Amino acid sequence: MIDRTEPESATNADDAIPDRAAASDRAAPPAPAAVTDAPAHVAAIPASPVNPAAIVDSSALVALADRDDTSHAAAVGVYQELVAAGYRLFTTSYVVAETYELLRTGLGVAVARQWLRESRIAVYHVTEADEAKAKRMLLAERGRPDLSLTDATSLVVMERLGVSDAFAVDQHFLAETS
């Protein structure tokens, strides 16, 4: 979890983020995922082979980081279950950028910076080929109007890596991964 209180006066970026020791009891888990008894708005991840992997959407990252988010408790529970089940959790460079922006605009720059500094989730860097395929997906005659470029790149990366599991709170993204 991230501390939502911003310092009264920060003179530089480092002053705006508490040191790791002070923030350790508030820090969000390094990454998220989904499980069987999760509420309907949190994806359930089916049984997978040894060393299963799941992509983590910005909606789950924000829910984990913001303890006031309505999905926070469910997201933390799902994250813990995924980790216990041995899931390898990862996200994309686009999702990291989107999560930072959502946290910055929703909770403030200090919170966003703290999340960026403390996040330990594995990041797959979207390639030019991934981006081009995602753009073609969105620009197609029957393109998906509710899908963002970030979500489209996540779907392309999932396909490329053979990953079928996702941890997300966003209903539009979950519908696309089903």
Torsion of CA 38, 80, 22, 57, to 10 degrees: -60
Is the pTM here over 0.85, yes or no? no
Q: Phi/psi at 47 (nearest 5 deg)? A: -60, 140
pLDDT score of 49? 60
Percentage of residues of the chain with pLDDT beyond 70: 71
Weakest-pLDDT range from 49-53, 86-90, 113-117: 49-53
* Most distant CA pair in the chain, distance: 52
Task: Give all domains of the chain, ordered by start, each with its CATH number.
Answer: 22-126+163-177 (3.40.50)
Q: How many helices (H) and strands (E) does the chain have?
A: 8, 4
**Distance separating alpha carbons of residues 146 and 106, to the nearest angstrom:** 21
Residue 46 pLDDT level (bands cut at 50, 70, 90): very low
pLDDT, tens only, 4-31 = 433 333 333 232 222 222 333 333 333 3
